[in-house]
């Protein structure tokens, strides 16, 4: 008996190279899909914009702080400048007064030198409350001599045991001052009193000067 031979269907064998004409059979060779790039850009771009915005805001914050500090400095400098301008104006006015005294009133030596020398004679424990200076004249024979009288008033704390010594030393220092000696006629303690209410020792020192010095007090016969 013959056994019929049935031909088996051979399986289709893929060709050894790809058929590029059949695009459906081509494998997906895209490493990164376009959609991935779109997603990355949609995430990264807002992130970059946000970072730049934050940096810009931080920079603006620093600038605002610097501007505020500069404004404070500006206001402070304007206040100081106005005070200095006012002080300079007052100084010029007072200087003009002193120059007028030097030119028309007190011609022995500059009044400013007189005030400086007096301030150097005053110890720390002593307070000068007023300095008076007035011009007068005196008949000396046939001459009329100009004289200048000055009164220095102040006080010393009474609690100090050397209060009286401070006052006496002031008078002695005035008598020995080189600026005064060519014109000094006399310097003496005119008043010395204790103030119980303020617990201070009050004093007044009188100074008399002339352009002829001590000899001016001697009237010629």
Alpha-carbon gap, residue 128 to 31, rounded angstroms: 99
**172: CATH:** 3.30.980.50
Has residue 2 got a pLDDT over 70?
no
User: How many structural domains compose the chain?
Assistant: 2
On whether both 88 and 137 belong to a single domain, the answer is: no
pLDDT band at 216 (very low <50, low <70, confident <90, very high): very low
pLDDT digits (tens, 9 = 90+) for 22-34: 666 666 555 555 6
Q: Which residues contact residue 35 at a Cβ distance below 8 angstroms, ignoring those fewer than 6 apart?
A: none
**pLDDT tens for residues 142-186?**
787 888 889 999 999 876 668 888 999 999 999 999 988 888 999
Residue 162: predicted pLDDT: 81
Instruction: Let me know if residue 175 belongs to a domain.
Output: yes
pLDDT in tens, 109-140: 777 788 889 989 998 889 999 998 888 888 87
End of a domain among 59, 82, 104? 104
Same domain, 134 and 99: no
Please tell me whether residues 128 and 143 are part of one structural domain.
yes
* pLDDT of the residue at 23: 63
Distance of CA 42 to CAs 37, 38, 48, 50, Å?
Answer: 8, 6, 11, 13
Instruction: Say if residue 135 is in the same domain as residue 213.
Output: yes
Mean pLDDT of the chain: 77
d(CA 37, CA 44): 10
Is the domain of 116 the same as that of 192? yes
| Span 72-78, average pLDDT | 81
Rounded (10°) angle between helices 163-176 and 111-121:
140
Residue 48 lies in a domain: yes
Domain check: are 120 and 213 in the same one? yes
Q: What are phi and psi of 23, to 5 degrees?
A: -70, -25
pLDDT over 50 at 221, yes or no = no
pLDDT confidence of residue 101: 61
Question: What mean pLDDT is predicted for residues 54-63?
Answer: 83
Residues 199 and 127 in one domain: yes
Q: What are phi and psi of 195, to 5 degrees?
A: -105, 105
Tokens representing residue 203 in the block: 């004093």
Answer whether residue 84 shows pLDDT above 90.
Answer: no
Burial of 47 (0-12, 13-18, 19+ CB in 10 A): exposed
In angstroms, the first-to-last Cα distance of the chain is 195
pLDDT at residue 217 tops 60: no
115 shares its domain with 205: yes
Select from 70, 85, 104 the last residue of a domain: 104
Cα distances (angstroms) measured from residue 104 to each of 64, 90, 111, 121, 132: 59, 21, 11, 27, 17
Range of the domain at 98: 21-104
């Amino acid at each position: 008996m013959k056994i019929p031979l049935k031909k088996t269907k051979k399986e289709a064998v893929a060709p050894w190279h790809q058929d590029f004409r059949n695009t459906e059979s081509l494998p997906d060779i895209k490493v990164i899909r376009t959609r991935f790039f779109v997603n990355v850009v949609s995430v990264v771009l807002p992130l970059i914009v946000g970072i730049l915005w934050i940096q810009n805001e931080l920079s603006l914050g620093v600038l605002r702080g610097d501007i505020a500090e500069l404004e404070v400095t500006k206001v402070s400098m304007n206040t100081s400048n106005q005070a200095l301008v006012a002080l300079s104006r007052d100084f010029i006015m007072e200087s003009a007064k002193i120059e007028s005294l030097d030119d028309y009133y007190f011609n022995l030596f500059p009044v400013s030198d007189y005030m400086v020398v007096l301030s150097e004679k005053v110890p720390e424990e002593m307070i000068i409350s007023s300095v008076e200076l007035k011009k007068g004249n005196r008949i000396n024979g046939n001459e009329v001599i100009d004289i200048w009288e000055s009164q220095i008033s102040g006080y010393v704390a009474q609690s100090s045991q050397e209060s009286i010594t401070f006052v006496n030393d002031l008078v002695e220092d005035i008598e020995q001052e080189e600026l005064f000696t060519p014109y000094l006629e006399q310097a003496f303690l005119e008043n010395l009193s204790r103030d119980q209410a303020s617990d201070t020792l009050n004093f007044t020192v009188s100074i008399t000067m002339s352009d002829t010095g001590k000899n001016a007090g001697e009237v010629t016969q």
